Amino acid sequence: MAAYILRRVWQMLPTMLGVIVLVFLLFNWVGGDPAYILAGKMSNPEQIANIRRQLGVDEPFHVQLWIFVKQVLTFDFGTSWSTGEAVSSVIGSRLGPSLTVLIPLTILETFFAIALALAIAFVRGSLTDRMVMIACTVGMSISILVYIIVFQYFLAYKLGWFPVQGWGDSFTENLFHYAALPILIALAVGIAPNLRLFRTFVLDEVNQDYVRTARAKGLPERRIVWVHVLRNASIPMITHVMSNLPALLIGAFLIERFFSIPGIGREVILAVERSDFPVIKAITVYVAAATMIFNLLADLMYRAVDPRVQLK
């Protein structure tokens, strides 16, 4: 396994290099001259030249690329153009609130989706199965903005069960007080598509030969579904969950924006609004690296779930 991990890490290097070059080209050729953005509308050529010299964008492109590569290797992307805060400090301080929401959300969403998918497998083709699928389709057709507005109005404003906005310094307070409603909303939004997808994975395995053989041996249906079917259906489930984790980190910007959660998603939106290129470039590179790492972890989890999987 160690040799496989080393080989996969070695294969990540050219991919990461391609990401670095692509990000550099996008922000330096397509993004325009950052000196004009920082100088503002009331500027003169001397100010713009001074800013370009301070940022290093007056250097040749190969020198700028090497500077960017060194920033990636040292995890030092300079300072934010809008706040003057170190980019590493910005990301480090925003990562905690995002994980406070996303880790419980991912665990709950995966658990409920798998449990409901297996339960529906017992009544596949029945009226209950059809009604659940109709409810999932309806739930997927409703915008997340509707969920946020309705849940905030009834659960926060009318009933007063949750705060509408806010974030504190205590992890326990944040998790059970401020993050409870955002997690509930995200769970309501994400459970429908995951349930439909996981149901498909389960039903694909239910009709396999090994399931018919297990039934012929007299094994109870509950054991067949919860042990044999679940183990084989877990491979695509792991792929789905692990591949979506980096996207969840950025995709939660609506939740973080509406509930004033100082997370990564909200920071990305603010950085885009302010044309804060150092923050955007850093988050882009980190998300790309996280995607490759999570793909590697998914491969290792395949082996843990199904010993027949060979890591080659």
Q: What is the mean pLDDT of the chain?
A: 82
84 occurs within a structural domain = no
pTM over 0.95: no
Q: Indicate whether 66 and 113 sit together in one domain.
A: no
For the chain, give the secondary structure using H, E and C: CHHHHHHHHHHHHHHHHHHHHHHHHHHHHHCCCHHHHHHCCCCCHHHHHHHHHHHCCCCCHHHHHHHHHHHHHHCCCCECCCCCCEHHHHHHHHHHHHHHHHHHHHHHHHHHHHHHHHHHHHCCCCHHHHHHHHHHHHHHHCCHHHHHHHHHHHHHHHCCCCCCCCCCCCHHHHHHHHCHHHHHHHHHHHHHHHHHHHHHHHHHHHCCHHHHHHHHCCCCHHHHHHHHHHHHHHHHHHHHHHHHHHHHHHHCHHHHHHCCCCCHHHHHHHHHHHCCHHHHHHHHHHHHHHHHHHHHHHHHHHHHHCCCCCCC
Among 83-87, 96-100, 209-213, name the most confident range: 96-100
- How much of the chain, in percent, has pLDDT values that exceed 90? 1
Q: Indicate whether 38 and 159 sit together in one domain.
A: no
Tell how far CA 7 is from the center of its chain.
Answer: 25
Q: Compare 249 and 295 and report the one with higher pLDDT.
A: 295
CATH number at residue 206: 1.10.3720.10
Determine the Cα–Cα distance for residues 12 and 8; give it in Å rounded to an integer: 6
Q: Indicate whether 244 and 286 sit together in one domain.
A: yes
pLDDT number for residue 38: 65
pLDDT number for residue 258: 83
Q: Indicate whether 183 and 48 sit together in one domain.
A: no
Q: Which domain does 25 fall in, by range?
A: 13-74
Q: Indicate whether 93 and 46 sit together in one domain.
A: no
5 occurs within a structural domain = no
